[in-house]
A and B are shown apart, each in its own frame.
Chain A
Amino acid sequence: SAVISQKPSRDICQRGTSLTIQCQVDSQVTMMFWYRQQPGQSLTLIATANQGSEATYESGFVIDKFPISRPNLTFSTLTVSNMSPEDSSIYLCSLGQGSPDTQYFGPGTRLTVL
């Protein structure tokens, strides 16, 4: 399976600031996904990022809060804007690969907002 890396691995941020998380894949993929995992919770899909088109957001998530870029087939960024303590979570990027089409996850970015 593809190798997925994320930067930063963790960060501590102040309320009201923004953080951009990078996701790099070692092979070209059409669709990349961004998930959030709040403390002690399961994974919730934020949005699907296709190269060359606008990201598709799930219910409860909006572009102004979580803008996403997908400039090429190996890279994507997720920005968490105007952060509040409620945004403290692990953010994971993933891709679908193989047969069956299985989700593979990056190592995650652990975000703490003070």
Chain B
Amino acid sequence: GQNIDQPTEMTATEGAIVQINCTYQTSGFNGLFWYQQHAGEAPTFLSYNVLDGLEEKGRFSSFLSRSKGYSYLLLKELQMKDSASYLCAVDNYGQNFVFGPGTRLSVLP
């Protein structure tokens, strides 16, 4: 079966660093994606990992360990506008994306 887990909610302070974890068990694996979704809006693509290791894109970094079925999204220098839900998704081959439940991040002043 397909199973992706993320923490439901997280809270952090403006300027801080936060790490959002994602664990997955899927029948196939062709890459892991992170999306950001602000309330009332569509998800937007943040990052992609297919090989083990860290991918850095500005304030956002994403890490993958395929052997552990584990990824995290690291957000640095948090800003108020980073308050959103963060979804991890596994490309289960054939463009069949399986989405995790999402983590709602609240950034406090």
List the interface of chain A (C-beta within 8 A of B).
Answer: 31, 33, 41-45, 48, 92, 96, 100-108
Contact = CB atoms under 8 A, between A and B. Distances in A.
Interface stretch (B11-19, B68-76, B94-102): B94-102
A48 B96 CA distance: 9
A33 B45 CA distance: 16
Interface of B: 31, 33, 41-45, 48, 50, 87, 89, 91, 95-102
Given A100-B31, A105-B42, A107-B42, A43 B99 contact: yes
A21 B74 CA distance: 36
Contacts of A101: 91, 95
A105 B43 contact: yes
Interface of A is mostly: strand
Given A43-B87, A101-B91, A106 B97 contact: no
Nearest to B87: A42
